[in-house]
Structure 1
Amino acid sequence: MSIWWSLHLRREAASVPLARRLLLGAMDTAGVDPDISFDLSVALSEACANAVEHGGDEGSGEPPGAYRVTAYLDGERCRIEVADSGPGFPARRVVQRTAPAPALTAESGRGLGLIEQLADHVQFGNRPGHGAVVSFDKILKWREGALLRAM
């Protein structure tokens, strides 16, 4: 069995914990190991926070001031995608997997690196036209008796 869902959220700070709680609730119900769920929820929070801060409103097909979160739990893997309508990533971020670390005194700039550390596979890209896409995968571990456990 597999499940997927898609959320269209406003670019407001309150949407970040909402997306995180929905993911944690779905993963708990499905029977995903809590440590894996936590890692994915932190990565999702970082991707959503990035969309809220940098995802502009122009020409995306998304409602103004919105971004989209899509999650798939299928067998032994979870894939999450966060897409916004901002200016997209600079070409060097799309091509280069790991960007230089921000200065220790920087107040921002650590989120994408954190996603890379928490997920098994990460891809940063730009949508055709306008907007950034962050997608990441993680191999799942299941609790005993999990509803979606792969056969």
Structure 2
Amino acid sequence: MSIWWSLHLRREAASVPLARRLLIGTMETAGVDPDVSYDLSVALSEACANAVEHGGAGASGDSPQAYRVTAYLDGEKCHIEVTDSGPGFTTPPRTPRPASTDAEHGRGLCLIQELADHVQIGNTPGRAGAVVSFDKILKWRKDTPLMAV
């Protein structure tokens, strides 16, 4: 079994819980273990929040007021990609460093690194914009009717 979906969302804070609820609903319906669903939903929320905050006007053809979320679940893993049309990273992304304990910002990419199995952070090839993609190996509930064998 595989499930794929893509959203084109406005860069507004209200879009973040929409993407998160769609992901959680998809994984719940498919029978993904709730702990894995939670980890991925937090990582997705952080990636979307970054796109909303930092994905402003860029030189690409996409609307500077929008960003895209794509998710793919297959029998073994979930792959999520969040792409914006902002200026992208001005320096090559490094492994994110933890923010200080009193910082109000700067924890999102570190959380994504901790919650996912494989993370790629960079600029959109061939045009302006940042892309954050991550994978996680899925675990399934025992009573899952859609579980791949």
- TM-score with structure 2 setting the length: 0.94
Matched ranges for 1:1-151 at <5 A: 1-93=1-93, 96=94, 98-127=95-124, 128-151=126-149
Kindly provide the amino acid, as one letter, of the partner of residue 19 in structure 1. Answer: A
Identity, % of aligned positions: 72
Alignment check: 8 A CA contact 2:64 2:86 kept = no
Q: Give, in whole Å, the separation in 2 of the partners of 1:146 and 1:61.
A: 42
Total equivalences in the alignment: 148
Structure 1 stretches (4+) deviating beyond 3 angstroms? none
Q: Give, in whole Å, the separation in 2 of the partners of 1:74 and 1:13.
A: 29
Task: From the superposition, tell whether residues 64 and 101 of structure 1 become closer, same or farther in structure 2 (CA, over 3 Å).
Answer: closer
**5+ residue gaps in structure 2?**
none
Alignment check: 8 A CA contact 2:48 2:82 kept = yes
Any idea what SS the aligned residue of 1:91 has?
coil
Q: Give, in whole Å, the separation in 2 of the partners of 1:6 and 1:146.
A: 24
Q: Give, in whole Å, the separation in 2 of the partners of 1:145 and 1:45.
A: 27
Any idea what SS the aligned residue of 1:101 has?
coil
Kindly provide the amino acid, as one letter, of the partner of residue 20 in structure 2. Answer: R
Kindly provide the amino acid, as one letter, of the partner of residue 132 in structure 2. Answer: V
CA RMSD of aligned residues (A): 1.2
**5+ residue gaps in structure 1?**
none
